[in-house]
Amino acid sequence: MTNHFAPQQFLNRELGQLEFNRRVLAQADDTAIPLLERLKYLCIGSSNLDEFFEIRVAGLMEQIKVGSISTGADGMNAHKTLKLVREQAHQLIDHQYQLFNTEIMPALASHGIKFLRRTHWNEVQKAWVRDFFFREVMPVLTPIGLDPAHPFPRVLNKSLNFAVELQGRDAFGRNSTRAIVQAPRVLPRTILMPPEISDCEYGFVFLSSILHAHVGELFSGMEVLGCFQFRVTRNSNLFVDEEEVKNLRLSLQGELPQRHFGDAVRLEIADNCSPQIEALLLKEFKLTADDLYRVHGPVNLVRLMEIPGQVERADLKFPEFVPGVPGVLQKKGADMFKVIRKSDILLHHPYQSFKPVINFIQQAASDPSVVAIKQTVYRTGADSALMEALIAAAQRGKEVTVVVELLARFDEEANINWANRLEEVGAHVVYGVVGHKTHAKMLMVVRREEGKLKRYVHLGTGNYHPRTARLYTDFGLFTSNEEICADANEVFSQLTSLGRVRELNHLWQSPFTLHTQVIRAIKNETQLARAGKRGHIIAKMNALLEPDTIAALYEASQAGVKVDLIVRGVCALRPGVAGLSENIKVRSIIGRFLEHTRIFYFRNDLKHDVYLASADWMDRNFFRRIEVCFPVLDKKLKKRVIDEGLKAYLQDNCQAWEMNGDGQYRRKQSRIAVRKCAQNELLQQLASATS
């Protein structure tokens, strides 16, 4: 299928991502949110922007560098997109620091949480800082004077650095006027001063303030004219020639260290930086004034994420909660296999616990009747009970097969380490299909029961990562349905073996059938509407970008199908445009938890088809990844998905943002007295508060 809609009927991806960051930043602006959580949102927004520059802006700059003239579905080329991105990114970052300096910092100070600036230190505080500098900081610093024998040092991606202007001659009679001091990553960026010294409950000192105060100690006998913090963001895309590579893991291990030294894409400097140092840094990193960001405050707001963990103030944080556990699994030592044989089990994270998934693997690892375990791993973290259980299973002689995605961005090193450990104990480790990331979330256990082999499967919308299962909303389904288990087994066979694609019973799979099945389901609603029946599509996902899917949704709208889209991040579809998409509504939910579920509902003449998936409606998910989309067949569980995953979010009038045809978002304002917040309601319904 090729869409026949004009470029102006699609929105730009990069600008859409900046719109998403505006919505995140709005959380930091919201005084109804606990104060330390507002600080977290500020850090999350800064982290999102870091990745945006490392990947998306870096990609645009690379296109321009090679002279690409290609355009996206929106008709914009890299030059035009980058120009608009720079303008909006400057505005966004300026607002971040204005919010930090004029609202969040003063509000924290009013609660006894202060960032102590060096210009306000008293004599006792100065003495404490001086002692800390000589004891903890100076021994690990290596100042580099810039002269013919000491060229500009290699600067790590996103590291904290200082450019120093000097006057005078050193011990060797050199008259170098500039130096670079790199802050080692082992040093914390904020240091908690003892309350008796800080004169407040929580007094923090920036590492940059400590170094500024004592930088002269690093250059004995010379005069420091200026000391300016800076940070460079680099291209972090990994370049592995997938046609030439013979061993993906070895190639990746060789490429990973270079990520820290990719081409520079952004330079952040202190707003008091001298013009001479500014010019020096821009020249050194081969950047222009458009890539320069002057900031009033620490150049890396992300590192302030450490603060809430150091402050014991429950009144300034979201209330704690205990994730719920389905009644059938609440009995201590419940036999997971017996329960799943009886009926499918649906888990809704983080409102419900991820522990049953870990229990499932641990039981499988220790159960003598289990003969094989197969699992995909995309992101699981450096410390994972689940991965340890797989290692234990292999050590007990079970057939353990793990499909590890080595190219899971920013998790490559952790995944390589797990792959090594698994291979050491005899597990079969494969890396999927070169050229297609394995993004599917699948876990299969094969058990011998009554002389026959019985399969059990867990399929999910999120990663097998216990920490993010407390922060992201996702669904996971346990089933022993023979046809779904056979489908999962077939996908595992594709990933580990060779052979042609076979038709699956229930699963839609990328890169083979997911796109065509989604288009077919949309067109089916269109045909029903044209036949005078009611058509309704509800889809929830992280991103909507694929042009043919958007074109199919436009056609459905024009046929009278009601389309409700819940898209957390970037959406290239223009909703509510007369003659094009007047029956389409797009909303984004930004709340305490990161909305990560992918749910696709098609009314289908009252059949009410419900699918859960690992995939968004993006080109990469449809065509360049291994993904699975699976139906919820149990009627009770299907109703749960509709009620908890869709209806609750469509009724939300607290955390919802509604999108207009220009790609701008307006916060949903309730016109009724009853406030409905999907995440809070689901917490009350499925979890319990801590005492």
- Which residues are the active-site residues? 439
Instruction: Specify the DSSP class assigned to residue 244.
Output: T
The set of residues, in sequence order, having a beta carbon less than 8 Å from that of 189 and lying 6+ positions away, is 160, 183, 206, 207, 208, 298, 300, 303, 304, 306
29-35: long-range contacts, CB 8 A cutoff, minimum separation 24: 29/99, 29/103, 34/315, 34/316, 34/317, 34/318, 35/104, 35/107, 35/108, 35/111, 35/316
The residue written with tokens 């898209």 in the block is 567
Instruction: Please give the Cα distance from 58 to 465 (Å, whole number).
Output: 28
Q: How many Å apart are CA 366 and CA 393, to the nearest integer?
A: 7
Residue 427's φ and ψ, nearest 5 degrees, are -75, 150
Cβ burial of 635 (10 Å; 0-12, 13-18, 19+) is exposed
Task: Report how far residue 189's alpha carbon sits from residue 94's, in angstroms, rounded to the nearest whole number.
Answer: 21
| C-alpha to C-alpha distance for 97 and 104, rounded to whole angstroms | 10
Q: Is the dihedral of CA 435, 440, 441, 443 positive or negative?
A: negative
Residues 6+ apart with CB under 8 A from 516: none
The helix or strand, by DSSP H or E, that contains position 523, with its residue range, turns out to be helix 514-530
Closest by CA to 269, choosing from 283, 282, 286, is 282
Q: Is 421 helix (H, G, I), strand (E, B) or coil?
A: helix
Report whether 122 contacts 212 (CB < 8 A): no
N-to-C CA span, the chain: 56
Identity of the residue numbered 163: A
> Exposure of 192 by Cβ count < 10 A (0-12 exposed, 13-18 middle, 19+ buried)?
middle
**What are the residues whose beta carbons fall under 8 Å from the beta carbon of 166, sequence distance 6 or more?**
145, 176, 177, 178, 179, 219, 222, 223, 224, 225
Of 238, 297, 233, 314, nearest in space to 266 by CA: 233
The residue whose two tokens read 């079969």 is 428
Kindly give the pairing relationship between strand 370-377 and strand 442-449.
Answer: antiparallel
Distance CA 542, CA 332 (A): 36
Nearest C-alpha neighbor of 562 from the set 528, 598, 595, 588: 528
